[in-house]
Amino acid sequence: MREQECQRHKKKEMNMTHLLRENSQTLDIVTSELNNANTKMTSLLEDNQQLKIEMTSLQITADKTEYDLQNSLRFKDKLQAEKSFLESGVKNLEEKLRSQRQFFCEQEETLRKQWGEMLLIKERDCERYKKEVENMAITLNKSNSVVYKLTAALSKAKRELTSLRNNNRSLKKTMKVLEKSLEKVKQNFTTANAEHEANIQYLESDV
């Protein structure tokens, strides 16, 4: 029974070790996901920088168009339309950039919140497993104490059994002596009874 109890404790400890290893792997996955998110954010920032460059280029083009418009009234309407188009493109790009930036900021915040909650849950699980291991150790110590007491009681019972066996042998010897004495008493009684019968018959014959 003690060996089975130890095996159960060992099995629980192995399961806890496996769970702790899974928690460590989960932490590695979380770290990898955060690194990937940071890499994507860096790439987006680079894209945003490129968009800013394009916006600057478009603004330069718009300025040049305005300059040409001032120097060439013949193309005033055409250049004005081109300028409006370019400005609209700049606004669209700015709106797109703003929307993308907001989206990825929200995504990053959501990921951080989710992984933060998961890490908190894993930390609580680890604390609970540690307490369970400590309780198992306390239970094992109590079990060892009970086993020690049972072993002592068993040893005492064995000694008492040995003493009873010795007493039983002594009683058997005494019974043999008593049986022999009883046999002698029976023989003496039989002899006395026979003599008594003989005396009665003798007395009856005299009469």
Which pLDDT tens digit goes with each residue over 52-83? 888 888 788 877 877 776 677 676 676 677 77
The CA distance from 124 to 120, in Å, is 6
Percentage of the chain modeled with pLDDT above 90: 0
Residues for the chain: how many in total?
Answer: 207
Q: What is the pLDDT of residue 200?
A: 66
**pLDDT tens, the chain, 207 aa long:** 666 766 776 777 776 777 777 777 777 787 788 788 778 888 877 877 887 888 888 788 877 877 776 677 676 676 677 778 888 888 888 888 888 888 878 887 887 888 778 878 878 877 887 887 787 777 777 767 776 777 777 778 778 777 777 777 777 777 787 778 777 777 776 776 676 667 667 666 654
The CA distance from 4 to 143, in Å, is 12
Q: Give pTM, 2 decimals.
A: 0.31
Which pLDDT tens digit goes with each residue over 24-60? 777 778 778 878 877 888 887 787 788 788 888 878 8
3-state SS track over the chain: CHHHHHHHHHHHHHHHHHHHHHHHHHHHHHHHHHHHHHHHHHHHHHHHHHHHHHHHHHHHHHHHHHHHHHHCHHHHHHHHHHHHHHHHHHHHHHHHHHHHHHHHHHHHHHHHHHHHHHHHHHHHHHHHHHHHHHHHHHHHHHHHHHHHHHHHHHHHHHHHHHHHHHHHHHHHHHHHHHHHHHHHHHHHHHHHHHHHHHHHHHHHHHC
